[in-house]
Structure 1
Amino acid sequence: MSQFVSLPGPACPPATTGGIAAVDLLTIDAKGLQSRLADGEFTSLDLARKCLTQIQKHDGHLHAMIKTTPIRILEETASSLDRERADGIVRGPLHGIPILVKDVVDTPTLGLPTTAGSFALLSSKARKDAKIIDRLIPAGLIILGKTNLSFCNSRGSDMPSGWSAVGGQVQSAYIVGGVDPTDSKDGHSSPSGSSSGSAVGVSAGYAPLAIGTETDASLVCPAGRAALYTIKPTIGLVSQEGIMPISHHFDTAGPMTKSVHDLAALLDVLAAGPRSESFTASLTGSWSDISVAVLDPEEWKFPEDWVKPVEGAEAQINREIRRAYDVIKSKAKMFVNNVDLVSVDELALDGESSEGIVMMVDLKRNLNTYLANFEESEVRSLLDVINYNLKHADKELPPHHPRQDRFIDSQNHTISPEVYERHLQHLRHVARDRGVERVLDTYGVDVVLGPTDSGLTSMAAAGGYPLCAMPLSYLDYNGRPFGVSAIAGRGRDDLLVKVMSAWEATFPGRKPPPALV
């Protein structure tokens, strides 16, 4: 745990009496907690204290947290929500429920900086809370603190998933021994990133809910490694105002939860635009009116330099995903096997990654605008961050991952607006016209399913599509969870909630981390 994490002292004694003592934070979801709060078994103050005790117990190893909210604010918030409940006022299904927020979301009213895990931003202060915080607090959620991350996986090409200078290396709650130093960036011992802390925090019982963000893979892959449900919403569904950006074309925040009901209820809160009905209306638990296409797991997977092969592990993943496909085939309205979705290799143009080009240009432009608007900060631009890292290389650029080449490339790029636009339009054309839209239209299906650790994440980023992750099983090799993702048409986030609901009703429930039980 970082030395900068604020944990409860004598003012917040462990909750060990009454109904709260019997609550298993590793398994209970927000819906279950809400039911018990409504029955008066315990209070939100009891619950917040128990969650803080869980953080204190495990984060010395897991490093999922950057900083917890000052105890005075937590206790005042929880007590106020308890008084409202006692007076018959319940703001909604998440009233009095604790939540974690990735440390790229502005939270000045909570007394928390937005650091992205960098010492350069440790003393930062945003002018106002992010728009999503302005939605979470009125909904009655208790923000416990900010979670660890890898600086949006954007700093250096050698940066492992889930590492930050301030927070250290996030460890999976499922893998005894932690990240193998000889493993690849997103190998089987990795929690994956960049929303690693949010995923690990929920799986370890710190809170039943968390907010992560994704540019490409940063929600779905950490959720897949933590046996959680998540969705990268359609770009634009969730406001990005007040969230540290990488690319306005690809970025979005999203929920990470143990259950689909929790995900739908939290997505209702996060969604920026008006909706005619709640996402919970999609919780049918049935495949009967869903037409499904699936991708070959032997073809759709991350390259070996991302996920270092382990004897037997890949075979198990392929075998269990195919078994899941067979089950869905017997239940779905229609099923199409091994569809020919265009390869992510086609997202390249003239030998260069179009996604990489767009992100490289967007990073400097977006980050400069974001940092310049801070009320207080040591750094005001990407160049300031680069120079800070050089000056404090012992902390920010340690020997085990000393590069910031992606920052430098973004700062020094000479890409013209015409070339930038050409790459952006190429991404849209391949991902949409030749990719997802073609498959959905050609085969008459609603969704496409494939391994979570696959190029589906890049298809979603390139096309602006919603993408979800669903837990499936656990590696015999080391116990790490793996799962399946689904992609749907733009604006069909409700359909993905429906798919997740059907998945949850079909396959065995997720297991908590054995080492923490």
Structure 2
Amino acid sequence: MDRSTESSDLSHSPVNVEEMTLDMMAALMREGKISSESLVTQYIERIHQIDKTGPSLHSVLVVNPHAIDEARALDVLWNSEKPLGPLHGVPVLIKDNIETAGPMPTTAGALALKNNVCLQDSPLVAQLRKAGAVILGKANLSEWANFKSLKSSSGFSELGGQTKNPYFLDRNPCGSSSGSAVSVSANLTTVAVGTETDGSIVAPASHCGIVGMKPTVGLVPSKGIIPISHNQDSAGPMARTVMDTALLLNALVDPSHSKARKDYAASLQFASLEGKRIGIPQHADRFPESVRAVFEAAVGKMEQAGAEIIRGLELPQEDSLGEAEFEILLYDFKHDLSEYLSGTSSSVEVKNIDELVAFNLANPSTLALFNQELIEMAAKKGSVEEPAYQASRQLVEKYGRKQGIDALSTDYQLDALIAPTNTPSWLIDHENGDNFEGGSSSPSAITGYPIITVPMGDTQGLPLGLSFFSGAYQEQTLLELAYCFERLINARKMPEFIAVHPSSRK
């Protein structure tokens, strides 16, 4: 039967999109109760009411001017029983360091890339379109994915302004995938795509009360993403549920990758914590008491559900690995960013990192709030053949992988490691920058291994996440554990856009 006979006009369906999951969306489309056009229209209206006015979250840099037309075209295919794929008609927001074909530019939030209009989609975005997704727009981010200044404010970019935490508007959403996290949490999109070098998906996801996953580096295509480091960069899914995270991951992974699975979601409903061996590294004990209390309560529930918890595990050489990571990122940023800039169109003035430094110095607005110490430090680095770079890479391989996560996983027969994702959201501060007190993303970041965060509770109304991490290509196991944990804890709460956190009034 031609589905076009089921409904006359669904362009302004009254169905409430708040907390709508992908499965709910698909069911409503099959029942003829919503259309892709109605979904896109409602999300655009919410963006205007919540992001551009009202709470003014500043999470969306630009709405795709063709989004409604694209949704209508997808509705025609749906009504003709020709769906493109599992994300048919689903609105997806893309972090603005991921290339989309014009007219929307790809800017990393930076003035230097304001006119970076690309001729074609990145492979990642092309895969989303092939799966039927509507590209709703581009999400704000920490400028240059938070690799500009040592004292910047996460979620701030010159082109997008300061993204706000949707729970308390005076609080920071963390970053660098700030807009992706905030827009998902505030129900301005169904799902979103972020990128991570170290914490840039999981940290804002934790602060904003959602799920975020950074896959193993290389599993998701990286071409067409403005880079920091080819050793650590990965795009990944951000959603309100683990199931939606898995469904979005299905569309993001490179189908030609030898380790890619066709369906990360199918087995989730059959997963169990019974008999699972979960390790807790020593650094989990260094979080503030308010965070540890929520974490220990969550761990207790996992034990009650049958998980075996192994405590006090040591990840070796943490300080040395941190220094090695920083060295690697500086070298990689110089090489990788210059290579990216050299391939941009003539409308982009800067073609390498030295020209970027000069551009920012010549345009005072780019340095009005924060300097560019990280860019300048990277610009001074030499070739990746230099001994300092090679020694840092060897240190990561030895202590991060072989004697680190790999050794713990093997020696203790672990299914995963867990820890609090990070400390709670801090006050937005454009004078001193972020007040970041600790996180758990670095072991996975330096190794290129996967990590997922799931809401575990809150402290004084500020969301907290719990991270599961493991060895290379263990996405399926991590998703299953995260799914079980989510059902057990059920900690996700919708934000209410409260202006000021109570502690700020003291």
Q: TM-score, normalised by structure 1?
A: 0.86
Instruction: Name the residue aligned to 1:327.
Output: 301
How far the C-alpha of 1:74 sits from its partner, in A, is 1.4
1:145 is aligned, of 117, 134, 137, to: 137
Instruction: Name the residue aligned to 1:497.
Output: 479
Residue 68 of structure 1 aligns to which amino acid in structure 2?
A: V
1:159 is aligned, of 152, 159, 163, to: 152
> Are 1:340 and 2:333 an aligned pair?
no
Residue 294 of structure 1 aligns to which amino acid in structure 2?
A: I
How far the C-alpha of 1:464 sits from its partner, in A, is 1.4
Q: What is the CA–CA distance in structure 2 between the aligned matches of 1:17 and 1:136, rounded to whole Å? A: 24
Instruction: Name the residue aligned to 2:358.
Output: 387
Q: Is the 8 A contact 2:450 2:475 kept in 1?
A: yes
Residue 131 of structure 2 aligns to which amino acid in structure 1?
A: A
Q: Is the 8 A contact 1:31 1:93 kept in 2?
A: no
Q: What is the CA–CA distance in structure 2 between the aligned matches of 1:383 and 1:29, rounded to whole Å? A: 45
Instruction: Name the residue aligned to 2:401.
Output: 432
How far the C-alpha of 1:417 sits from its partner, in A, is 1.9
Q: What is the CA–CA distance in structure 2 between the aligned matches of 1:370 and 1:334, rounded to whole Å? A: 46
Q: What is the CA–CA distance in structure 1 between the aligned matches of 2:10 and 2:388, rounded to whole Å? A: 64
Q: Which moved more, 1:420-429 or 1:279-288?
A: 279-288
Q: Which structure 2 residues correspond to residues 81-92 of structure 1 after superposition, within 5 A? A: 81-92=74-85
Instruction: Name the residue aligned to 2:412.
Output: 443
How far the C-alpha of 1:297 sits from its partner, in A, is 6.4
Deviations along 1:33-77, one digit per CA (max 9) or x if unpaired, are: 22111111121101101000000011131110111111xx21221
> Are 1:32 and 2:6 an aligned pair?
no
Residue 333 of structure 2 aligns to which amino acid in structure 1?
A: L
Q: What is the CA–CA distance in structure 1 between the aligned matches of 2:340 and 2:452, rounded to whole Å? A: 28
- 5+ long unaligned stretches in structure 1: 1-15, 179-188, 302-313
Instruction: Name the residue aligned to 2:290.
Output: 316
> Are 1:229 and 2:199 an aligned pair?
no
Deviations along 1:415-455, one digit per CA (max 9) or x if unpaired, are: 66222111111012111122111211221111000010155
Q: What is the CA–CA distance in structure 2 between the aligned matches of 1:449 and 1:276, rounded to whole Å? A: 24
Q: What is the CA–CA distance in structure 1 between the aligned matches of 2:317 and 2:27, rounded to whole Å? A: 46
Q: What is the CA–CA distance in structure 2 between the aligned matches of 1:243 and 1:55, rounded to whole Å? A: 25
Instruction: Name the residue aligned to 1:358.
Output: 328
Instruction: Name the residue aligned to 1:7.
Output: none
> Are 1:457 and 2:444 an aligned pair?
no
Q: What is the CA–CA distance in structure 2 between the aligned matches of 1:300 and 1:440, rounded to whole Å? A: 22
Count of aligned residue pairs for this structure pair = 466
- Secondary structure at the residue paired with 2:130? coil
Percent identity over paired residues: 29
Q: Which moved more, 1:54-63 or 1:98-107?
A: 54-63
Q: What is the CA–CA distance in structure 1 between the aligned matches of 2:162 and 2:336, rounded to whole Å? A: 26
Q: Is the 8 A contact 2:11 2:41 kept in 1?
A: no
Q: Which structure 2 residues correspond to residues 51-450 of structure 1 after superposition, within 5 A? A: 51-60=43-52, 61-70=56-65, 73-108=66-101, 110-150=102-142, 151-176=144-169, 178=170, 189-274=171-256, 275=260, 277-283=262-268, 284-296=270-282, 299-301=285-287, 314-342=288-316, 344-348=318-322, 353-375=323-345, 376-393=347-364, 395-398=365-368, 400-401=369-370, 403-414=371-382, 417-450=386-419
Q: What is the CA–CA distance in structure 1 between the aligned matches of 2:497 and 2:118, rounded to whole Å? A: 38
Deviations along 1:87-135, one digit per CA (max 9) or x if unpaired, are: 1122333110101000001112x41111100111111122421110110
How far the C-alpha of 1:341 sits from its partner, in A, is 2.7
Q: Is the 8 A contact 1:297 1:451 kept in 2?
A: no
How far the C-alpha of 1:24 sits from its partner, in A, is 3.8
How far the C-alpha of 1:316 sits from its partner, in A, is 2.4
> Are 1:513 and 2:495 an aligned pair?
yes
- Secondary structure at the residue paired with 2:188? coil
- Secondary structure at the residue paired with 2:468? strand
Deviations along 1:284-339, one digit per CA (max 9) or x if unpaired, are: 342125221123565344xxxxxxxxxxxx32211110011111122245321232
Deviations along 1:168-205, one digit per CA (max 9) or x if unpaired, are: 111010114x2xxxxxxxxxx32101000000011111
Q: What is the CA–CA distance in structure 2 between the aligned matches of 1:145 and 1:102, rounded to whole Å? A: 9
After superposing on structure 2, the runs of 4+ consecutive aligned residues of structure 1 that deviate more than 6 Å are 16-19
Q: Which moved more, 1:434-443 or 1:204-213?
A: 434-443
Q: What is the CA–CA distance in structure 2 between the aligned matches of 1:18 and 1:148, rounded to whole Å? A: 27
Q: Is the 8 A contact 2:334 2:381 kept in 1?
A: no
Q: Which moved more, 1:77-86 or 1:243-252?
A: 77-86
- 5+ long unaligned stretches in structure 2: 1-8, 423-437, 499-506
Q: Is the 8 A contact 1:203 1:513 kept in 2?
A: yes
Residue 343 of structure 2 aligns to which amino acid in structure 1?
A: N
Deviations along 1:329-373, one digit per CA (max 9) or x if unpaired, are: 22245321232233521315xxxx111111101101101111111
- Secondary structure at the residue paired with 2:193? strand
Cα distance 1:260–1:248, how it changes in 2: closer, same or farther (>3 A)? same
How far the C-alpha of 1:277 sits from its partner, in A, is 3.9
Instruction: Name the residue aligned to 2:502.
Output: none
How far the C-alpha of 1:463 sits from its partner, in A, is 1.1
Q: Is the 8 A contact 2:17 2:39 kept in 1?
A: no
Residue 413 of structure 1 aligns to which amino acid in structure 2?
A: K
